[in-house]
Structures are given as structure tokens and as C-alpha cells.
């Protein structure tokens, strides 16, 4: 183990505590008060909810990413004796808090990169829900984890499933990884229907309740493309051996095919608290307080190959991974800009892959072996995506 515990309870820092994954992590922790202590909380801008969480869980440190909200947070936390920090430095302080045994990284998007990287450098056990950090800087993060000895445990249900399927298995005996996807709200929609879809339709995910950015990523299947890149770095498997299957029931969370033809799968209900409990209890397994999967009443399990013509983000993500270097960082940045524009009704759904494609066509990848190179590629791709969207994306 990599943890040096200072009490009988596991001490946890949560980055992105007011988001979907962060709130579910706190819900889980509240159900195991004898096992966990919250020592640091970090959030982006929802200062009122962060103050409520701080009052309930009494961390040693509460951090807010937007510096202008630091005073409001301090006003709420100072009477409770809770230290307050703000800005990127504050999020890094939460990520590297000296008392934290495990860090839940649940900040959405590129904003999570630096705090997550610093948590790895500080040799924390990382429960990783911020897939964008690994997409942008997979080589750098895994290299730092090797150097520091930090353990990275995935929280995404698909990668948690793969982690569980691979326990005790030799990598050389793995033939392929199979990531499952519900197919999102447009699994059966035509290209014309997708072109006319407004954000409300795209946010209507059939099985998972998630934040807006990841919900749009699920609607375009970019989420699955990012997960292919994430799986490559987490498990050391080449992109050509990572496949995607649509599975509308969302009960099989992913599978591993072994060299002898055996297929190992992990199943469970669609509830992020399951993967969170796995990541926070690993290598142990605890009795779960949540509903269990009733196989006898489960509907027939279906699996289909994705329609890559309707969901081009899948191939764009694979192409970026194969291009290597800073290409995945450019892909991620262009996607974040385009998704944000779509949510503001400043773009149509098909504009998201078209913007990404144009940015990648112009991007000349360089080695992604430093935070500076990655952030430079990220910034340049964001600027270019904004220019493309401002001029109007050609069909």
C-alpha cells in the first residue's frame, strides 16, 4: 500500500465536491462515518453548497477555485475554525493536504489537471474521476505516478469495471478491452434529428444522472472516445485493442477478453457510488448500503457496434491518441470549447465534432512531456476552436 495513515479512518480530500461525482462521494462517506474523515474540500464556483458541505463534514481546509469567492467562503468557514484557500493554488493545497490519504479528483475538464498532477506528485492514492486530466497528460501523469509511487484508481464506471476484471490477470494474456456505452439519448436518432437537437434533449441521458459537460459528451459519444484514451493510459493497452460496444441496459460496465477467448465482465446497477466505494475501499471490498443488481429481473442484455458515421467523435479521439504527443490535449480543449458553445446555444450538436476535426487537422503535435507543453497546446486549441465557432463551422 502507498498510504501512511495517521488514524484508523481513511482521510479523504475531494476536489470538485459540489459536482455530481463529488456530492455522491460525500453521500458515500456519510454512510461510513467510522471509516472516513474528510480533511479537505475543493469546488469551482458553488460557494454556498461548499459552505454547507464544510459545515457538515468539518474539513481542515475548504478551497474555492474562483478567487473572488474566497471572502464569502471565509465568512462561512472562519467561525467553524476551517481554513480557507482560493484560486488554483487553493485547489492544489486541497489536493496535496498533508493529512489526506486518498484524493477524489472530480473536477470537470482541464481545470483538474494541475491539482490532480500535484496529488500524484505528493504520492496520494488517487480516486480519479477527472478523465480529461489523463486525456491531456496521460504520459506525464503515469510517469509521475511511477516516480512517486502514487496509486491511481479509476472512478469512471467503465474503468472501474476494467480494473476489477483485470485483478490478478497478466497483461500479456489480455486480448482486448471492451468499453460499454449506453449510446446516450441519440442512440436511435437520425443525423437530421441530431442536427436539430437542443441542449435539453442532449442532456436527457437515458440511464445516468450526470453534470452537463459529461452529459453532452455522452450524447456525442466523445465521452467514450475520451475513455478509450483513459483506458490506454490506465491499463497500458494499445488503442487498436480497445473497442466500444453500445449496451443500452447499462448493466455490464465493461469487459475484458482474454487470449483463450474467455470474456470477463463486471456488472452492477447504474450508480456512481458503486465505483466510488470500490476506489475508496480498495484493495478491500465492503458491504454495500446501496441497491443491488437483480439478475433475474434484468432485461435481456443487448450489445451493438456504434455507428461511427453518426458519432464521429469516437474516431477523432482514437486518431488523437494514435497521433500522440499533445494531440489528445488539443482534442480535449476543442471539445470543451465546442460543448460550452452548444450549451449556450452558440453552436449545433454536429458543430462539436466538426470543430474538433478542424483543430486537429491544424495541430502539429509535440512531445507531451511537460505541463508547459500541454497547457500551451490546450490554450492554442481553445483559441482556434473559438475562432472556428465564431466564423461558423462549415458543413
* pLDDT interval class at 110 (50, 70, 90): confident
Q: What is the mean pLDDT of residues 162-190?
A: 95
pLDDT in tens, 287-324: 999 999 999 988 899 999 999 999 999 999 999 999 99
Mean of the pLDDT values across residues 101-117? Answer: 92
DSSP state, 40? E
3-state secondary structure of 323: helix
The residue to which cell 475513455 is assigned: 227
Q: What is the mean pLDDT of residues 284-289?
A: 94
Cβ atoms of 29 and 2 within 8 Å: the answer is no
Residue 100 pLDDT > 60: yes
Contact 56, 80 (CB under 8 A): no
- H/E element holding 176? strand 174-181
Confidence of residue 1 (pLDDT cuts 50, 70, 90): very low
Please say whether the beta carbons of 90 and 63 come within 8 A: yes
For residues 352 and 107, give the distance between their C-alpha atoms in angstroms, rounded to a whole number: 22
Confidence band of 392 (pLDDT split at 50, 70, 90): confident
Section 16-44 average pLDDT:
96
Determine the average pLDDT of the residues in 90-103. 97
Q: Name the average pLDDT for the chain.
A: 94
Q: What percent of the chain has pLDDT over 90?
A: 89
**pLDDT (average), residues 218-222:** 95
Q: Measuring CA to CA, which residue among 272, 295, 154, 265 is closest to residue 207?
A: 272
pLDDT the model gives residue 279: 97
Amino acid at each position: 500500500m502507498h498510504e501512511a495513515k495517521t488514524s484508523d479512518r481513511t482521510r479523504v480530500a475531494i476536489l470538485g465536491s459540489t459536482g455530481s461525482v463529488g456530492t455522491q462521494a460525500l453521500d458515500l462517506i456519510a454512510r461510513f462515518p467510522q471509516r472516513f474523515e474528510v480533511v479537505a474540500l475543493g469546488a469551482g464556483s458553488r460557494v454556498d453548497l461548499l459552505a454547507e458541505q464544510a459545515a457538515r463534514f468539518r474539513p481542515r481546509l475548504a478551497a474555492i477555485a474562483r478567487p473572488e469567492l474566497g471572502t464569502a467562503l471565509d465568512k462561512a468557514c472562519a467561525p467553524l475554525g476551517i481554513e480557507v484557500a482560493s484560486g488554483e493554488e487553493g485547489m492544489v493545497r486541497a489536493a496535496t493536504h498533508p493529512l489526506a490519504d486518498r484524493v477524489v479528483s472530480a473536477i470537470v475538464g482541464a481545470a483538474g489537471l494541475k491539482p490532480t498532477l500535484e496529488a500524484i506528485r505528493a504520492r496520494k492514492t488517487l480516486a480519479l474521476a477527472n478523465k480529461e486530466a489523463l486525456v491531456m497528460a496521460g504520459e506525464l501523469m503515469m510517469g509521475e505516478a511511477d516516480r512517486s509511487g502514487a496509486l491511481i484508481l479509476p472512478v469512471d464506471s467503465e474503468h472501474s469495471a476494467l480494473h476489477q476484471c483485470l485483478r490478478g490477470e497478466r497483461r500479456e494474456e489480455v486480448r482486448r478491452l471492451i468499453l460499454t456505452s449506453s449510446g446516450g439519448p441519440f442512440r436511435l436518432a437520425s443525423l437530421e434529428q441530431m442536427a436539430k437537437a437542443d441542449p435539453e434533449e442532449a442532456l436527457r441521458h437515458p440511464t445516468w444522472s450526470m453534470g452537463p459537460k459529461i452529459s453532452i459528451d455522452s450524447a456525442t459519444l466523445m465521452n467514450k472516445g475520451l475513455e478509450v484514451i483513459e483506458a490506454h493510459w490506465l491499463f497500458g493497452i494499445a488503442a487498436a485493442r480497445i473497442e466500444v460496444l453500445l449496451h443500452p441496459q447499462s448493466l455490464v460496465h465493461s469487459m475484458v477478453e482474454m487470449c483463450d477467448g474467455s470474456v470477463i465482465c463486471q456488472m452492477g446497477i447504474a450508480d456512481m457510488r458503486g465505483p466510488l466505494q470500490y476506489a475508496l475501499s480498495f484493495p478491500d471490498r465492503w458491504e454495500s448500503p446501496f441497491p443491488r443488481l437483480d439478475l433475474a429481473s434484468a432485461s435481456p442484455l443487448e450489445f451493438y457496434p456504434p455507428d461511427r458515421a453518426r458519432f464521429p467523435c469516437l474516431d477523432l479521439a482514437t486518431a488523437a491518441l494514435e497521433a500522440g504527443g499533445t494531440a489528445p490535449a488539443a482534442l480535449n480543449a476543442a471539445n470543451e470549447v465546442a460543448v460550452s458553445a452548444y450549451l449556450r446555444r452558440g453552436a449545433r450538436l454536429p458543430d462539436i465534432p466538426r470543430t474538433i476535426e478542424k483543430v486537429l487537422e491544424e495541430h502539429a503535435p509535440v512531445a507531451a512531456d511537460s505541463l508547459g507543453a500541454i497547457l500551451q497546446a490546450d490554450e492554442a486549441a481553445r483559441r482556434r476552436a473559438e475562432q472556428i465557432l465564431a466564423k461558423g463551422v462549415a458543413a
